[in-house]
């Protein structure tokens, strides 16, 4: 289930991908100003960095919401029952 924060993050990722596509398409329409390999690499690197930051934030939030104490307690209960 997606909360509002994750819905926002997904929309940001989609927006960044669309920006990448628009910039790429704009640089491939003009034969006199055609995109270079290094420009493609720079655009791709920028997109990866931006989306990785969003994914990282999302993962950190998810991890901070894990009830570790509850999981440890359940694990100890289950281990005790097996003996």
Q: How does pLDDT run across 34-59, given as a tens digit for each residue?
A: 999 999 999 999 999 999 988 898 88
Mean of all residue pLDDT scores within the chain: 88
Residue 1 has a pLDDT of 62
> What does the alpha-carbon distance between residue 26 and residue 68 come to, in Å, rounded to a whole number?
49
> What does the alpha-carbon distance between residue 38 and residue 69 come to, in Å, rounded to a whole number?
49
What percent of the chain shows pLDDT beyond 70?
95
Selection from 38, 39, 45, 37 nearest residue 16 by Cα? 45
CB neighbours (10 Å) of residue 9? Answer: 19
Residue 66 has a pLDDT of 86
> What does the alpha-carbon distance between residue 4 and residue 6 come to, in Å, rounded to a whole number?
6
Q: Is the pLDDT of residue 14 over 90?
A: yes
Q: Is the pLDDT of residue 67 over 80?
A: yes
């Amino acid at each position: 289930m997606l909360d509002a924060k994750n819905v926002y993050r997904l929309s940001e990722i989609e927006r960044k991908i669309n920006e990448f596509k628009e910039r790429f398409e704009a640089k491939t329409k003009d034969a006199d100003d055609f995109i270079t390999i290094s420009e493609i690499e720079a655009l791709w690197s920028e997109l990866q960095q931006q989306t990785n930051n969003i994914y990282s934030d999302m993962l950190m939030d998810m991890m901070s919401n894990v009830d570790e104490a509850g999981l440890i307690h359940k694990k100890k209960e289950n281990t005790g029952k097996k003996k």
